[in-house]
Chain A
Amino acid sequence: MEIVSLWVIAFFSLCIFSYLYRNNPFYKFAIHVILGLMVGYMFLQQVTIGLEQLVVSPILEELGRPSPDAPDILIQRVLPLLVASLIFTIFVPERRWLSRIPIGLLLGYGMGYMLTKSLEADVFKQLNATLTQSITAISGDSIFRSRWPAWGQFLPGLSALTVIGLTIFYRFRMQHPTIRTIIYIALSLFICSLADSIMILVGVLTVLSYFFFSFERRGLVEEVSRVGLVFMMVYFGAVFGNTVLTRIQIFIGQVDFLIFKWLGGTWQALFRG
């Protein structure tokens, strides 16, 4: 029996792979069977577990007791079943409006549940982590700071002081081009020295600016949002690379099955008993 199941799996695998050559009836047949199987399996799961185990069996079990708790069964099992059944009125044109009740309950529950939890998990915790990393970077700690040489520990503070001091001097005293150059070099050193941690803050702000549509992006905002675009392209590149890794691995899994389990199993069954 195991051999039969191996051959069935191998047959459908090869039918799907045949699409690499061209679209053909074997591929279409396999796709339809797999889709139907998936839907049928999920339907059966919902019926056996959702209906039978969680609704029908508890009701029958409670009714089988000498003194069943009728209000408890009504509220916990029967009423939810009736409300959920209203979804099927979607097939009756005159009563279609009733299907909005269970949909509305589900949506309302989901939205209420989501709103209260999302704020803390998606906003506050992430904001805290982003700002904490950036602040600790300026105060002397960063992701890679432990790997720097001893003299490099002073670089962020020193370069920041240079930028601030010379900017004030430049603004209020002389318009000397050398001072401007030193400011730019010190600013670059400052950014590079904090790049490992402050990059996260820079990335967050620039990417957020890309999705800011309340006014037309012009000038500095446009340039900043282009930096955000670069961050996003790096992210999409990483996602693409990892997707290739996953797809290749799924193919490796299938090849492993076809060679060792299907061919190997068949060889063993035929020639070694």
Chain B
Amino acid sequence: MWRKLLSLNTRYIYLAIVVMVVIPVVLKVPLPTSPSEPTQKLFDHIDTLEAGDGIWFFLDTRPATTAIHRPQLHVLLHHCFSKGIKVVGFNPLAPEATGMGRPFIQEIAAQYGKQEYTDWAYMGYTPAGLAIFSAMSKDIKGLYSQDVTGKAFDEIPVLQQFRKYSDVGLVITLAGLKTPGYWVKYAQTPYKFPFASGVTGPMIADQFPFLNAGQMVGMMGGILGAAEYEGLLKKNNIRKQFGIASASMFVQTVVHYILVAIIILANIATFIINNQDKKDRQARAEARAKADSGIE
């Protein structure tokens, strides 16, 4: 039985996972999560900002991570727009993200009646490489002559207030690439401004040294971070219902239970089979030794 389990066609496992994902996705059951310290710190920092303050966010990612960064950006925007905080977005380190930012913002801005160019703007990509970190400490007009829609820099009111790091209350990178380390190294440490990140799962563990050293004010760790932030928005009456991130947590829980069960079963099977093989080898060796001594 154990050998059959180990030689099970992986397609059945994929099928089981597909079924276990589809059913909860259709049901959309939100699973509230308690906030971790990094998410709480990020929420508290944005909560200290006032109407009229601004934040910059950077989409240092690719469209492949939309499922993670879209919920992260949405919770951020819900918090900012509910407090009247203005938002400017960029993606100078990831050209593939140019088409992502503006539609993501529009989905949420419409709910709060926020106007493009006066309450928010999205600047898109500029090929400056490492130079963006120092250029943004002086004036972003040197990097961007127009926004992603082609509107000239001087015609966008929200940009006139927030032209360098010291003008904004928070700089946050939503990173699917290994850019938070560059931001800390080349921007936050020399120019000293509040910096945070929203990262994908594999990068979560790498951010804790920056959090512990005070180089980051907070962090959203993957979709779990977004779900925790949704919980905080609901708890503080900023939103009445949970969003997509909390609904995803139920699906994640189900799938992780299945994966853990498969891993445990496979390990038990391997252990039992290895023991059986060891006993078989010993029995064969003894039989051969007996046969050899019988021949002699």
Contacts and interface: CB of A to CB of B under 8 A. Distances in A.
B1 interface: no
A246 B11 contact: no
Q: Is the interface of B mostly helix, strand, loop or mixed?
A: helix
Contacts of A249: 67-68, 201, 222-223, 248, 252
B15 to A, nearest CB: 9
Contact of B64 (A58, A250, A252): A250
Interface in A107-137: 109-110, 113-114, 117-118, 120-122, 125-126, 128-129, 133
Contact of B213 (A109, A128, A243): A128
A118 B184 CA distance: 9
A184 interface: no
B95 A129 contact: no
Interface string A31-56: 00000001001100110011001100
Interface in B239-279: 244, 248, 251-252, 255-256, 259
A255 B22 contact: yes
Contacts of B214: 129
Most chain B CB neighbours (cut-off 10 Å) among A45, A238, A247? A45
Contacts of A114: 185-186
Contacts of B223: 245-246, 249
B179 to A, nearest CB: 14
Interface string A147-179: 000000000000000000000000000000000
A245 B224 contact: yes
A20 interface: yes
Interface in B1-46: 11, 14, 18, 21-22, 25-26
Interface of A: 20-21, 38, 41-42, 45-46, 49-50, 53-54, 57-58, 109-110, 113-114, 117-118, 120-122, 125-126, 128-129, 133, 200, 235, 238-239, 241-256, 259
